[in-house]
Structure 1
């Protein structure tokens, strides 16, 4: 009798821990992807002529499977700000990475924005 009461609680707890671990992994990967993209976008003014496609590809390479999922994050062109060829002292680049996490118990949209001063 005790097993019938305790087992569902223990199973729900175990799956809750797994789900939380997956969402935490997704959050970390999305954050790293935004930083990688912002770093490349900050170097765009250094004669390297990086494009938004280059920045997007670098960011997506940093987060191949967030939360051990099968879908990739999204980075629209409007969420990428490249540095200009002659940036000011306080100019910045930014990249916003979004991901739709689908878990066992909950689903949520995760987004991270990274900002970096131009010139690296």
Structure 2
């Protein structure tokens, strides 16, 4: 049985009411996926930087390794990375931090600050 003209109009109204909710849901999923991916990349970059710092005892080499690991996020300057302490002594912990601001789609937020941290033991 074919729907009448009135029923077709009701379907159009229901679709118009549901569409904004579905659109917000899909855009939220996309933005969350981008945010999660950027956070994972930063954490990986910080771990790579901490590993190189522990093995080579060179903060410049550690920052270069972290920049390479964070390349999917674009070019990050050396000021986005920090190493503490700057020299590695046996028994101390090295903390490597990578900072990045994700540019959102503008639908949910304009920018979102992210931090990745890697900690490793020197001489271990």
TM-score of the superposition, structure 1-length normalised? 0.78
Deviation at 1:28, TM superposition (A): 0.3
Unaligned runs of 5+ in 2: 1-12
Give the match for residue 82 of structure 2.
79
Contact 2:50 2:120 in 1 (8 A): yes
Task: Write 1 or 2 for the structure with the bigger share of helix.
Answer: 2
Size of the alignment, in residue pairs?
A: 108
Is contact 2:94–2:120 with CA below 8 Å preserved after alignment?
yes
Aligned-residue CA RMSD (Å): 2.1
Contact preservation (8 Å) 1:43, 1:83: no
Of the candidates 57, 61, 68, which is equivalent to residue 54 of structure 1?
61
Identify which of structures 1 and 2 has the higher relative contact order when contacts are C-alpha pairs closer than 8 Å and 6+ apart: 1
Check if 1:7 corresponds to 2:10: no
Question: Which 4+ stretches in 1 moved above 2 angstroms?
Answer: 71-78, 81-84
User: In the TM superposition, what whole-angstrom CA distance separates every residue of 1:90-111 from its partner, at most 9, and x where no partner exists?
Assistant: 2122211000011121221001
Q: Equivalences for 1:1-120 in 2 at 5 Å?
A: 1-45=13-57, 51-66=58-73, 71-76=74-79, 79-81=82-84, 82-84=86-88, 87-88=89-90, 90-104=91-105, 105-106=108-109, 107-119=111-123
Larger radius of gyration: 2
TM-score (norm 2): 0.76
Distance 2:67 2:81 in 1: 16
